[in-house]
Chain A
Amino acid sequence: MIEKIRVSGPMHRILVVEDDPDIGRLVADLLRKEGFAVEVAQDAAAMDAALARVRPDLIILDLMLPGEDGLSICRRIRVNDVLPILMLSAKSDEIDRVVGLEIGADDYLVKPFGPRELLARVRAVLRRGTAQPSAPPARRFAFDRFVMDIDARQLASDSGEALLLTSAEFDLLACFVRRPRRVLSRDQILDWTRGRTAEPFDRTVDMLVSRLRKKLEAVSPDSNLITTVRSSGYLFTAQVKALP
């Protein structure tokens, strides 16, 4: 019932990080039967200890773990390592969000999964070999007729002309550019631009948006870069390209 094709060459080592002992054991048994050397860790600390002993060829990492969760572990490993990672999640919708986060996992699998599915993914990731260390988050973006440099805090039009934005307007635009084509509520915008304050200042966001719109439209008229959505929030409609 299970493919009996063994991976040729040296035996691959797999580290399974899974807090449910039953699943850990079942996955380990399955992989061992297929000729992998498997070790199981139940949390981040056990994983670190195992990693210190011997370097595996692949980590199968559960997203939800007691203590440090899978997302954080994945990010931590990716900072200075190219170790392939296969993420497991018990929440179907979580995977969709995780993919968007670009945390650097090589593949994802939603629970419940069948043995064939798991083996296929494991083999595919191993075949691809070492992962590229994830690029640091982009700091320069191009959209519509603009180029935005987050570090230099500059916004320029495609003709090279710099636009003068206030600090608050720049933060707001950066918030939009980092989350393009998503509907952002006023509350979310406030959270991301200045952190949660006790009192909601709905009107502040509205005023900032209208000022920012005017400045953008002076360069790119009728572009409708920031659209109001059913009075519930704002949407940045442009395709944003990250620049190196």
Chain B
Amino acid sequence: MIGRLSLAARITLIVAIALLASWIGIIVLLYWLYDTDARSTATAARQIAAIADLLERAPARERGVVLAAVTSDMLQARVVPAGVHLEPLDGPRVRDERTVQALSAALGDRLLAIGLPPPTEQQKRYPRLHAMAANAIELRIGLRSGETLVAVKRSPLIVNRSGTPLGLGAGLLGTLIALVALVFMHRQTRPLARLAAAVDRMDLAGTPAALPRSRTAAPEIKALITAFNRLQVRLSQLLRARMALLGGISHDVRTFATRLRLRVDQIPDRVERERAVADIVDMVHLLDDAVLASKVGAGELQEELLEFKDIVAAEVADRRAAGARVEMTVANDLSTALLGDRVALRRIVFNLIDNAVKYGQRARLSLSRDTQWIVLLVDDDGPGIAPDKRELLLEPFVRLEGSRNRQTGGAGLGLAVVRNLIEAHGGQIRISDAPGGGARISVMLPGFALRSA
């Protein structure tokens, strides 16, 4: 399922999940801290009560030392002389109720006032900012001497008036902005999708058609498209050069082979003459196999709607006429319509019969069809093929004797080409044992079924 997600969707998903995870993490952390905050309230109340006691007992000149001793980042304490006007406090925030009750209980009637500290000069200039960063509580406690102890207790978290951490809103806003940004980013990746589609349609055998250049695409993508166009031209030149080379070699070798074939008839010894003729035939077949294999690679096969049994029957007749022992069984009313290249399909059947006759003296062909596949079985009377050698045999230039002995013919390209061609037609080839003990090669080719649309 993940394989179907587009690049933009993946990035969207990654960013969204990361944002969501950090968001949830922060909220969990926050409530965990709140809880410790509540637990520390009792301690704080006792601490403040103790400070008040200490200040009352301490001589006037020692008060400075006591205040310095208790002041920290979390708690600030100062003593305001009697009669000095103190600004009224804002009421406590909703979430501080519990803290307020705990403090009231601990300090009793000594508590004069509790609430948000009045804004400083700087905070007054940015009242909204001050309102957002409300993480402190001010306590005013009457001392017996008539003075007032002002203690400001700070929470380690910066929290706004509704009790949520200050960063939460920013995170939410950031998420929304990121989502909008992702929509735009998605538009940026669209040229990539179009490029991929265009590359898929690329026909290297034909005239290279330049891929569309998007004017609005990012420079990197434009560069990519330009690079693809250059690559396409180079590949197409390479491919055409290779096809031309193979075509040229094929033509020239056939010309030489023709001369040779005509001259070979001058050889007086019959056995030698027949061997020479067989060599020439094998040589030309090898060349045909190579040319056909390169055509498969270049996507040069031409598809037609064909009756496979006609092709098999024609090849069988040809081989029988040449004296090979070939049998064929096929139901007359069998429909073997398929889409394929005429030349390639004939080569498949030719090579299979050739292989069976060469290594197994006799070829028995049978053709059948199930709902989807046309199945051709080719059995021979040979020694069979060991299971561990089967896959190997379908690789180019592998022959079972392990020697490149021309006496037994073939350079080992035959079955590899067959596999190549069958796979190019969407089919499969398998090697197994024939019921009679020889080798059985099963070929499955997709039958043609009419579909609308």
Q: Which residues of A pack against B, CB within 8 Å?
A: 1-2, 20, 22-23, 26-27, 30, 64, 90-93, 96, 111-115, 181-183, 185, 187, 196, 199-200, 202, 222, 224, 227-229, 233, 235, 237
Contact = CB atoms under 8 A, between A and B. Distances in A.
A224 B451 contact: yes
B251 interface: yes
Nearest to B344: A93
Given A64-B251, A187-B206, 15 more contacts: A90-B251, A90-B254, A90-B258, A96-B343, A111-B255, A111-B258, A112-B254, A112-B258, A182-B304, A183-B304, A183-B305, A200-B201, A200-B209, A228-B453, A235-B339
Interface string B334-370: 0000010011001000000000000000000000000
B260 A112 contact: yes
A91 B284 CA distance: 10
A233 B303 CA distance: 10
A164 to B, nearest CB: 23
A114 B304 contact: no
Interface size class of B (residues with CB under 8 A): 35 or more
B251 to A, nearest CB: 5
B263 interface: yes
Contact of B258 (A23, A182, A202, A235): A23
Contacts of A181: 304-306
B261 A113 contact: yes
B80 interface: no
A96 B258 CA distance: 19
26 contacts: A20-B255, A26-B262, A26-B263, A27-B262, A91-B250, A91-B254, A93-B291, A93-B292, A93-B343, A96-B346, A111-B254, A111-B255, A111-B257, A112-B254, A112-B258, A114-B261, A114-B262, A181-B306, A182-B302, A183-B302, A200-B209, A224-B451, A224-B452, A227-B451, A235-B339, A237-B450
A196 B261 CA distance: 43
B305 A235 contact: yes
A149 B262 CA distance: 49
Given A91-B251, A112-B257, A182 B207 contact: no
Nearest to B264: A114
B299 to A, nearest CB: 9
Contact of A228 (B262, B304, B451): B451
Contacts of A27: 262
A24 to B, nearest CB: 10
A96 B303 contact: no
B288 interface: yes
Contacts of B346: 96
Contact of B207 (A1, A113, A196, A233): A196
A176 to B, nearest CB: 12
A237 B304 CA distance: 10
Interface string B226-266: 00000000000000000000010011001101111111010
B372 to A, nearest CB: 15
A229 B303 contact: yes
A170 B343 CA distance: 31
Contact of B250 (A2, A90, A227): A90
B411 interface: no
A209 to B, nearest CB: 11
B296 interface: no
Contacts of B304: 181-183
A130 B427 CA distance: 45
Nearest to A2: B265
Nearest to B283: A112
Contacts of A235: 303, 305, 339
Nearest to A233: B303
Contact of B259 (A1, A26, A64, A202): A26
Nearest to A202: B201
